[in-house]
Amino acid sequence: MARVLVAVTGGVAAIKAPHLLRLLRAQGHEVRVLATPRALEFITPLSLAVAAGGEVATEEAWFRPDGRALHIELARWADVVLVAPATADAMAKAALGLADDLLSATLLAGAKRVAWAPAMNEAMWLSPRTQEHARTLEGMGHALFGPAHGPLAAVGEGEGWGRMLEPEELLERLQAFLTPKDLKGLKLLVSAGPTREYLDPVRYLSNPSSGRMGYAVAEAARDRGAEVVLVSGPTALPAPWGVEVVRVESALEMREAILGRYSWAQAVVMAAAVADYRPAEVSREKEPKVAVEKVLRLLPNPDILKELGENKGSRVLVGFAMETGEGLARAKEKLLRKNLDLIVLNWVNREGVGFGSFENEVVLLLRDGRVLELPRMPKRQVADRILDLVKEFWKG
């Protein structure tokens, strides 16, 4: 966890700062808050102080009675300064090296890492000078989170670019910004979610997979610097930012998408729950309901993971084995039969770790004979443990 200085500048989005502060603290970050005079026209110091769990740094407290300078103290304390919302004025001052207020002086005094969440009217964001300042800040190693396209605050402006990202997404971007890029250079292909095998236009065969495990792998790899392509079956999950997402429905569509990108990939994590069978006949029209027994004839779907293993080359290949009982022997057999580097064994019928859950409890079986049992943990943490081993094989 990091020491985060949230700097709130004078935009309407300042009203979202307390929520952002609470999210940061809930995730375990140590938080302090700085507010410019204009910010305090939108939000009260008390609201910020309660959310941050401490006093608000303001212009009035810039120089302490004992001679200490607050901008020096804050710059040395913070692991990262997150300016949210960030006005065009604040960005311009930082880009030009000005130091005529507490925020700009703090940034100039040696702030270790800086991230900006721009929030302004579209005309101001798209101004050539603002774009020049944004490029200057990125050239200095600062990060820009957004802005987003959406409803603008000023009356009559409609929608446009310049809206501050929501606090939840800022938290994700900050985590990625702070994560060491130990997978930089890796090209990773991930599959996730279920597939649907249609009987007619409204009925299909599928499974309860939520896609959360595969999405967690894609997001963790992105944060660690990898270039990621995510091939996803139908899920309710939003597309992860910074990841190329390829949407598919059937097992045959997933096979085509995976094989079409296999030559690009250096590592593949096949977390999708791909249907083993598909209907032999698919009706183009909705079948009417009839009160008689109906027999379905099913055809086996291609074994995508087996095909990948047969053409593995130097790639790192990771598979999943979902079992309802003692599946260790079957997982080991699958590891060898499909030419995998790693297989992730999990049990879909255990309470709290089955389909749709936010946690997982897995056993990692490696081609070199190692067996690593992981305790129950969030799927994001499981994803990082899997990627640690992908890195080991990739670097090795």
CATH of the domain at 231: 3.40.50.10300
User: Are both 170 and 192 inside the same structural domain?
Assistant: no
User: Are both 116 and 229 inside the same structural domain?
Assistant: no
User: Are both 48 and 196 inside the same structural domain?
Assistant: no
Total structural domains within the chain: 2
The 10s digit of each residue's pLDDT in 327-338 is 788 899 999 999
Q: Which amino acid does the sequence have at 258? A: I
Q: Which amino acid does the sequence have at 78? A: A
On the question of pLDDT at 61 being above 90, the answer is no
| Mean pLDDT, all residues of the chain | 93
Q: Show the tokens assigned to 143.
A: 């990060």
Select the more confidently predicted residue: 288 or 210. Answer: 210
Select the more confidently predicted residue: 159 or 186. Answer: 186
- Kindly state the average pLDDT of the residues 267-281: 94
Burial of 131 by CB count in 10 Å (0-12 exposed, 13-18 middle, 19+ buried)?
Answer: exposed
User: Are both 14 and 72 inside the same structural domain?
Assistant: yes
Burial of 281 by CB count in 10 Å (0-12 exposed, 13-18 middle, 19+ buried)?
Answer: exposed
- Kindly state the average pLDDT of the residues 47-66: 90
User: Are both 83 and 204 inside the same structural domain?
Assistant: no
- Kindly state the average pLDDT of the residues 46-60: 94
- Kindly state the average pLDDT of the residues 117-132: 96
Give dist(CA 78, CA 34) in Å, integer.
12
User: Are both 191 and 171 inside the same structural domain?
Assistant: no
On the question of pLDDT at 389 being above 90, the answer is yes
Residue 155's pLDDT is 63
Give dist(CA 227, CA 3) in Å, integer.
28
On the question of pLDDT at 225 being above 80, the answer is yes
- Kindly state the average pLDDT of the residues 181-201: 95
On the question of pLDDT at 189 being above 90, the answer is yes
SS3 call for 4: strand
Ranges 154-158, 265-269, 270-274, 368-372: which has the least confidence: 154-158
CA angle 65, 69, 73 (to 5 degrees): 125
Residue 89's pLDDT is 96
Select the more confidently predicted residue: 308 or 209. Answer: 308
- Kindly state the average pLDDT of the residues 384-391: 97
Residue 152's pLDDT is 79
Residue 21's pLDDT is 97
| Total count of residues recorded for the chain | 396
- Sequence-distant (6+) residues with CB within 8 A of 51 are 17, 18, 19, 21, 22, 25, 33
On the question of pLDDT at 219 being above 70, the answer is yes
The confidence band for 309, taking pLDDT boundaries of 50, 70 and 90, is very high
DSSP designation for 43 = S
Residue after which a domain boundary falls, among 142, 158, 178: 178
Could you tell me which of 370, 11, 349, 369 has the C-alpha nearest to residue 361?
349
Phi and psi dihedrals of 149, rounded to 5?
-95, 130
User: Are both 167 and 37 inside the same structural domain?
Assistant: yes
On the question of pLDDT at 113 being above 80, the answer is yes
Residue 285's pLDDT is 86
Burial of 361 by CB count in 10 Å (0-12 exposed, 13-18 middle, 19+ buried)?
Answer: middle
Tally: H helices and E strands in the chain? 13, 22
| % of the chain with per-residue pLDDT over 70 | 98
Euclidean distance between the first and the last CA atom of the chain, given in angstroms as a whole number: 29
User: Are both 220 and 171 inside the same structural domain?
Assistant: no
The confidence band for 109, taking pLDDT boundaries of 50, 70 and 90, is very high
The 10s digit of each residue's pLDDT in 342-380 is 999 988 777 766 777 888 889 999 999 999 999 999 999
The confidence band for 223, taking pLDDT boundaries of 50, 70 and 90, is very high
Q: Show the tokens assigned to 324.
A: 């309802």
339 is catalytic: no
Residue 355's pLDDT is 77
On the question of pLDDT at 111 being above 70, the answer is yes
Residue 151's CB is within 10 A of a number of other CB atoms, namely: 9
Give dist(CA 10, CA 235) in Å, integer.
38
User: Are both 156 and 258 inside the same structural domain?
Assistant: no
- Kindly state the average pLDDT of the residues 257-267: 97
Task: Give the up-direction half-sphere exposure of residue 109: CA atoms within 13 A in the CB hemisphere.
Answer: 19
Task: Decide: 312 and 306 in contact? Cβ < 8 Å.
Answer: no
The 10s digit of each residue's pLDDT in 143-153 is 999 999 988 77
On the question of pLDDT at 67 being above 80, the answer is no
The domain in which residue 191 lies consists of 187-395
User: Are both 25 and 43 inside the same structural domain?
Assistant: yes
Q: Show the tokens assigned to 244.
A: 């190329």
Residue after which a domain boundary falls, among 130, 150, 178: 178
User: Are both 381 and 290 inside the same structural domain?
Assistant: yes
The confidence band for 396, taking pLDDT boundaries of 50, 70 and 90, is low
User: Are both 204 and 237 inside the same structural domain?
Assistant: yes
Residue 153's pLDDT is 75
Residue 346's pLDDT is 87
Q: Show the tokens assigned to 83.
A: 């300016």
Which is catalytic among the residues 207, 339, 346, 349? Answer: 207
Could you tell me which of 118, 117, 123 has the C-alpha nearest to residue 156?
123
CATH of the domain at 31: 3.40.50.1950
SS3 call for 205: strand
Pairing assessment for the beta strands 30-35 and 3-8 based on DSSP bridges:
parallel
Residue after which a domain boundary falls, among 155, 178, 201: 178
The confidence band for 221, taking pLDDT boundaries of 50, 70 and 90, is very high
- Kindly state the average pLDDT of the residues 162-178: 95
User: What letters, b where the CB count within 10 A reaches 16 and e where it falls short, cover 291-312?
Assistant: eeeeeeeeeebebbbeebbeeb
| % of the chain with per-residue pLDDT over 90 | 80
Could you tell me which of 327, 371, 364, 369 has the C-alpha nearest to residue 344?
364
Could you tell me which of 395, 341, 334, 337 has the C-alpha nearest to residue 370?
341
* H or E element in which residue 383 lies: helix 379-395
Residue 39's pLDDT is 96
